[in-house]
Structure formats: structure tokens, C-alpha cells
Structure 1
Amino acid sequence: MAGRIRTIQRGGSRWYVDPATAVKYPGVTSVIAMLPKPFLVFWAARMAAETAVMSLAAVASIAERDEAGAIDYVRHAHLRYTKIRAKLGSDAHDLFERMARGEYVDRVHPDLEPYKVGFAAFLEAVNPELVRAEDIAWSSTHEYAGSFDAILRVWLDAEGKPTPDRSGTPHLLIVDWKTSKSAYPDVALQMAAYSHADLIISPDGTSEPMPEFDGAAVLHITGEDWQFKPVRADDEVFAVFLTLRKVFVWDRETSKTVLGRAIAKSARRLVTGTERRAR
């Protein structure tokens, strides 16, 4: 059984570590990162192009003093954007947890205000009960772990619509908050991984079995609107996640073992005396 968990970064991936046993499992999002995403190449290229064109004078000014610096400024445009969005997303998640726990939140940064308004509207329209938040899902069976956003109990009518007066049938849902421009299909892989884990581990290291869920959902909330959508997290979706778990092992471990040393190769090029003297 896992104990009090800490996280580390290794090779661009997040790992969850049980200090008591030294067991180390990759994070759910790091496993899902094994999905091919060729569109990101074009997105990063577009970000670089837009930066170069829209900041032409600034780029030219930098280039006069530091050509390599100007190149780095343009080619890292997508990383700067991602960092800003990640900070906003992290702050929004913190805000959502506080509000879901019933904490009164007064003033927030102007960038967060639309998210505060949207989440308040969600709480009023759905009136969920917060069961757990920001705890760790741990799977010894399949060797992965991850921090989920929330477990909510919501009351739904016969058509699957929320009944904020809680007159409908209670449903236990694993839920993810998304503040990106869109809610992408890979959220289903996240929800399947969390809901099929063995344990929930609290910050103090205590654990309990992962409950049986009635479903999964994503709250996609932006600066303009919000949507609460059901998400498939069944065995079929979970099987895809487990395939990516195998791909993760290939990428980080097996691929480094498949090529042996050369048993035959071309002779080294002859270095002449003239070449040696010229060095």
C-alpha cells in the first residue's frame, strides 16, 4: 500500500513516489502524452510566425545585438504562451477547489474573475456535493498514479439533467476541470485512469479503495462560458490508456535496449600527415 506520496520530474515526465517503499509510478498525464499530437508542430510554428510578424521591430532590435537571442525569442513563443496558460489554469483550479469547499472568495485577479463567475454559476446550476478534491489516484495493479480534480455527487433527473434542488437520483462522478480553449477527447483517458485506480491517497498518506463511480464528467470553463459534459470512462477507454502505459515503457525503457553494438562497421578514414600538421 502506498504511503505519503511526493512527486518528482524526470525526463520531462512527472513521477509519483512512495518514500516508504521507493515505488515510483509515472503520472497519468505523462502516460497520455504518449498520444501522437502532430497538430502541435503546426501550432508551435504558427505561434513563432505570429511572434515574428507582430513583434517585428522588437525582434529586429534584439537581432542587432544578439542574433541567437532573437531566434530563441521567436522559437520559444509557444513555450511562453504555454507557461502563461499553465499558471492561469493552476490558479483557476485552486479557486475552484476553494469555492467547491464552500470558502468565501472575495477579490481575485482580473484574469480570474470570469472563471470565478462561471464556476459560481456552475455551482448554482448543478449544486454538487464535493466528496474529494485534489487527491491521488494510485494503481499498483497497472503501475500509474495521478492527481484528480474532484469527486462530486450530483443529482440527475431521468434525462440525465442536474436537479439543483437535489430531487433527482444521486450519481457519484469523477470530474475534471478544464480551462483550455476546448475540452479534448483525451480527458476521457484521464477519467478512465483515475476511476480504474486501486486507491485514493490523501495528502497525509492515508488511503482507501477507489469507489465505484456512476460516471465521469468534465467542467469546461473559459473566460466566456462554461459547459458540464458527461465523459465516457469505461473499460474500452481504459484499455486505450493501458496501451499508452505500455508505449510509455517502450519510450522510456525498452527502446534504449533494442539496438546492440555494431558487430561490423566501416574502417576509420585515414588521417594524413598534412591534416595532422594543420590541426
Structure 2
Amino acid sequence: MAAGAGPGASGAPRHADGVAANQSVPRHVAIIMDGNGRWAKARGLPRAAGHKQGAEAARKVLRAAGEAGVECLTLYAFSSENWRRPETEINDLMGLLRFYIQHELDALHKEGIRLRIIGDHTAFKPDVVAMIDRATAKTAGNTRMTLAVALNYGARNELVKAVQGFAAAAAEGRLAAEEIDEARIEAALDTADLPPLDLLIRTSGECRLSNFLLWQAAYAELLFVDTLWPDFDGDALHAALAEFAARERRYGGL
């Protein structure tokens, strides 16, 4: 898988992708990759084919995000609720994860991309856990861009774990209630070392967050698109970035 404000004025320099050079680029983009199953069903293919094509879409979007200057791309790959899916589909997803770690890790490393995992990937099979740990260790020093992959992730559980940590620290006398502020909460989340979330995209026409980055999305721009994830590509990402650049972010002010 390999700052200005607002859209550029007429005649402004433009990148090869058509996005004006002085458009505001989000530092951190997150995507709920939805629609693999519907994409496959519409073509009379098994769901596994949709997931495979979805992984190809992720490669294209990662490349486009890096070219556009996005610092971090977070992809919702496997939620804590996805365990409810049929075992055969979970096995297909794990097989795909193995394949892409094996075949894409060297390319990620060569491109200077750091792989980060949010969520509890230790719930997966031991060989998958070991592969993920090796991949994150190998790319840990890369600084060009971060690819964060949400695996066995749920935002509510993320917040519960943070609260439990504060409660334990308070019970031991290491933390006073008045010391718990937004900065301390953010430091306790899985995304503590990632840039603030600027843009959250969901594909396939669904308009909900599905337990994804609930705290982090408080002031993010939300974009819901009808495109099924396997059909989402670099051009679609550039269109989303242009939409982001055209919005005015007030953060509650005037």
C-alpha cells in the first residue's frame, strides 16, 4: 500500500492531481471503508472478492494521501463488532491481512511510512499478532507519513479503558479528579501520538460513525459519500480533500 485557507484563487498553481497548491490539506484523514460486501454482491462475487478489491483501494488511497501531503491516514479495517460476522469471513479477512503485510511491508518501509495499529490486535491468532508486531517495529522510525490501521477497535471501549486507568490511578492516590482534563484524556487514547483528526470520510452512503474515533471526531469535518469502498480511489480522495479545503472551520467561534 504504498496552509493556506480555503480553495485557491483562479490562476493559483496546481498540482498534477488538479488540487490547488495553496489549498488547506488535512493533517489527519480517517476513513470508514464501507461497501465491500455490496460491491461484491452487485457483481455476483463472494464477499471475499469485495474485501480483496477493498485492499487494492486502500493502496491507491494511501499513495494519493501521501502525494497530497497528508501526515496520517487512519483506516477502519476491523471493528470490535466485526467478530459477530461469520467465521469464514473473519478468516478471509485475516488471510488478506497476512497477504498484504507480507507483500506490502517492504514498500511501506521504502516509502518512509510508519505503520501504527489502534485497537487490540492481540486478540487475533498468534501468527497474525507476530506479523503485525514485526511490521510496526520495522517501520517505527519512519517519518514521512503514518498509516494507522484500526484492528479490533471500538471507540467506546477505548474511552472505557482510559476511564479505568484514571480510576485506578485515583484509587492509588496518583491522580486527583481535578487533574483529569482534555489533554490527559487524549494522552490516554490509542491515537495519542497521531495528529488531531481533521477529516473523517465514510463510503457507501451510510451516515453514521459506527463506534469509530468518537472523541477524536469532535471537531473533524465529516464527509459521507455514496461510492462503495472498492471503487474509492485517488481521484475520489482528491475530491474529498478539495471539499475539506472549501469548508470554513470555526470550532464554535464566529
- Using structure 1 for the length normalisation, give the TM-score: 0.25
Bigger helix share: 2
Answer 1 or 2: higher relative contact order, Cα 8 Å, separation at least 6.
2
Bigger strand share: 1
Larger Rg: 1
